Chain A
Amino acid sequence: MRGNLAKAFELTNTQVFRRAAMPKSYTDLLGRKLFLALLTVQGLGAFALITLGVVLKKFGVARSVIQPRVKQEISRAGVALLPMFIFVALALGFVVVGQTVSALARVGQTAYLGSTMVIVIVRELGPLLTAMLVLARVGTANVIELGTARALGEVEALEALGIDPVHYLIVPRVIGMSLGIFSLTIYLILGALASGYLFAFLQDVPLTPGDYYKQIAEALGWLDFALLALKTVAFGFFIAIVTCYHGLAQPLRLEDVSRVAVRAVTQGVVVCVMIDAIFIVLYLVT
């Protein structure tokens, strides 16, 4: 409870560095930036482990309060974003899939269609674009909500009522965002593939829906499904951790909230790209 936040904060007391005077040389500045980055990684790691610990240790605790909050977060990071994702899926299909299909048809290489679609849409663009959109739309709101709650003393109020802030505020967001990104990615991929074919069809590309479906189905392996699930859940988990960490784990003043939100989004993008890089390596070695 009180210890959870304190532990994360003690490990990442980066404010000392942030508030210190500017170093006199570029090497000192570089060193400070590097040290800050390491402290942030350490803090994020500690916060992620603490959150995982609370998820496991308090599974089933205050279920009647936490369950509705989880549903609310799934709705916020998933269901509520569906209209936007339908639009993005259509756009992605028209821009990427439709053009690829027609380009491959022009050079008579439609045999590569399935594997191209799987690499571009299923493995890369689908999950990464979903993560970026959820980070922008829900992650930012997370930092602002939690940062404001922190600055207004609501976290201390929770502790005074014997409520673990990590359990009440973070766990529903982590679960909601993981499931939200997973589901939205599936919808985005299906929508993009369908609208892409529609675009190709409108350009009179000689490819039947059956052939298109068959090629994609043949290019997909069980590993694609497993890694897609893992990747999207990892995106959701870490976006929630980064945004909640910046909103909650350090004492904030109201004027700090906007600055912290910008920092959280930047770090969220970096974390997503790093996770994506790890999965590219996994795809290459398997």
Chain B
Amino acid sequence: MSEPTFNPAVIEMKGVNITSLHDTSTVVVADANWSVQPGEFWVVAGQQHSGKSDLLLHAAGLMVPAQGSCQVFGCETANFGESQIADRLRVGFVFAGGKLFNQLTVAENVALPLRYQKNLAAEESARAVELILELFELMPFASITPANLAGNWRQRAALARALVLKPELLLLDNPLGGLGARHRQWLLRFLDQLAAGHEFFGGRPMTLVVTTDDLRAWQHPKRKFAVLDEQVLSVLGSWSELEAARHSAVKELLAEPVETTI
């Protein structure tokens, strides 16, 4: 494992050019500078196709920046390889829509990272999986494949899968997208519990980054905000700073009426 440099930041981006997952020659965010400290809860807002998912993939070390430096837990993500697997596993990632493995049941999906990383047989991981399924109210769906699961529960199963290895940093790509009111409330409450330190995950405050295309649900004095618009990542700070910025993109993301020219 490479020697991590002393840096308290969980994510540190300096002059990063972020490219699209589907076309690595297209820069979707240019010259991004952003620092996420331990225990912070960040909300990155932007319209569809503004590069939110790509930003998150770079922050997780799943994509290498075209330019600039991106560090996660002090390790340059460009060097992330087999030997940095311990650092990789400190990051949990929840994709938009869940991206569960369709050939596996919900329980098998949740068990897979645990079994693979700790080399456990199905019986050895059964108890741990059962506990996390109970926490997420997923027990009734344990033996169902994702295709037969409603979108609300798929998202919850994906969250359970990302948390089964108890990461320190959790990245969620548009987690409220397509969720019903009850599930939205549950998820927002649960993320706050994670940020404060959930008992199930050892009580340690978790660092969280979520992306959204609708800021209204995320208003909270303790959360920090950044906005992606026209290839620029604007790091705004708290909710009051976000409101004070009077950014035109913020108005749209708050679904406020904006002046348009036809």
Q: CB of A32 within 8 A of chain B?
A: no
Partner of A162, one of B95, B100, B103, B113: B113
Separation of A283 and B21 alpha carbons in the complex (Å): 49
Which chain B residues lie closer than 8 Å to A168 at the CB level? 116
CA distance A156 to B171 in the complex (A): 14
Q: Does B189 have its Cβ within 8 Å of any Cβ on chain A? A: no
User: Among residues 102 to 129 in chain B, which have CB atoms less than 8 Å away from a CB atom of chain A?
Assistant: 102-103, 112-113, 115-117, 119-122, 124
Q: Which one, A65, A145, A154, A162, contacts B115 given CB within 8 A? A: A65
- How far apart are the CA atoms of A148 and B99 in the complex, in Å? 12
Q: Which of A3, A145, A160 contacts B95 (CB 8 A)?
A: A160
Q: Mark out the residues of chain A between 143 and 158 whose CB falls within 8 Å of any chain B CB in the assembled complex.
A: 145, 148-149, 152-154, 156-158
Shortest B128–chain A CB gap in Å is 14
Q: Which residues of A contact B81 (CB under 8 A)?
A: 1, 3
A45 sits at the interface (CB 8 A) = no
> Is B179 an interface position by the 8 A CB rule?
no
B95 and A157 contacting across the interface, CB-CB below 8 Å = yes
Give A61 to B113 CA distance when docked, in angstroms.
13
Interface string of B121-144 (1 = CB under 8 A from A): 110100000000000000000000
Which residues from chain A contact B116 at a C-beta distance below 8 Å?
62, 65, 161-163, 168
**Nearest B residue to A157, CB-CB:** B99
B161 at the interface (CB under 8 A from A): yes
Q: Given A156-B95, A251-B22, A64–B103 Cβ distance below 8 Å?
A: no
Q: How far is the CB of A114 from chain B (nearest CB, A)?
A: 47
> Known contacts A2-B80, A62-B119; is A163 also within 8 Å of B112 by CB?
yes
A149 B115 Cβ-Cβ under 8 A: no
A253 (CB) vs chain B CBs: closest residue:
B22
Chain A residue at minimum C-beta to C-beta distance from B117:
A162
**A2-B62, A161-B161 as given contacts; A156 in contact with B117, CB under 8 Å:** no
A64 touches B95 (CB 8 A): no
Query: Which partner residue on chain A sits nearest B93 by CB separation?
Result: A160
Task: Tell me which residues across on chain B come within 8 A of A152, comparing CB atoms.
Answer: 99, 102
CB distance from A150 to the nearest CB of B (A): 11
B158 to chain A, nearest CB (A): 8
Within 8 A of B (CB), among A117-161: 145, 148-149, 152-154, 156-161
Q: Which of B99, B103, B115, B162 interacts with A156 by CB under 8 Å?
A: B99
Q: A153-B99, A154-B102 are in contact. Are A159 and B62 (CB under 8 A)?
A: yes
Of A154, A159, A161, most buried by chain B (CB within 10 Å of CB) is A161
A162-B89 in contact given A1-B81, A156-B62 (Cβ < 8 Å): yes
How many chain A residues touch B (Cβ–Cβ < 8 Å)?
25
A63 within 8 A of B: yes
Take A1-B82, A2-B80 as given contacts and tell me if A145 and B103 are in contact as well, using a CB distance cutoff of 8 Å.
Answer: yes
Contact of B101 with A by CB under 8 A: yes
| Residue in B closest to A63 when the chains form the complex, CB atoms | B119
Query: Does B60 touch A at the CB level, under 8 Å?
Result: yes
Q: Point out the residues of chain A lying under 8 angstroms from B58, CB to CB.
A: none
The answer to whether A160 touches B62, judged by C-beta atoms less than 8 angstroms apart, is yes
Distance (whole angstroms) from the CB of A178 to the closest CB of chain B = 22
**Interchain CA distance A158-B101 in the complex, whole Å:** 9
CB distance from B16 to the nearest CB of A (A): 17
* Alpha-carbon distance between A122 and B62 when the two chains are bound, in angstroms: 49
Rounded to whole Å, the gap between the CB of A89 and the closest CB of chain B is: 31
B88 CB within 8 Å of chain A? yes
Q: Which residues of A contact B124 (CB under 8 A)?
A: 64
Q: Are B95 and A153 in contact (CB under 8 A)?
A: yes
The residues of A that contact B122 with a CB separation of less than 8 Å are 64
- The CA of A1 and the CA of B88, in the complex, are separated in Å by 12
Seen from chain B, the residues whose Cβ lies within 8 Å of a Cβ on chain A are 21-22, 57, 60, 62, 80-82, 85, 88-89, 93, 95, 99-103, 112-113, 115-117, 119-122, 124, 161-162, 165
Contacts beyond the supplied A62-B115, A149-B101: 4 A-B pairs with Cβ under 8 Å: A2-B62, A64-B120, A152-B99, A161-B165
**A-B contacts, 6 listed (Cβ < 8 Å):** A62-B116, A153-B99, A161-B112, A161-B116, A162-B89, A163-B116
Closest 3 pairs between A and B when the two form their complex, measured CB to CB: A160-B93, A157-B99, A161-B113
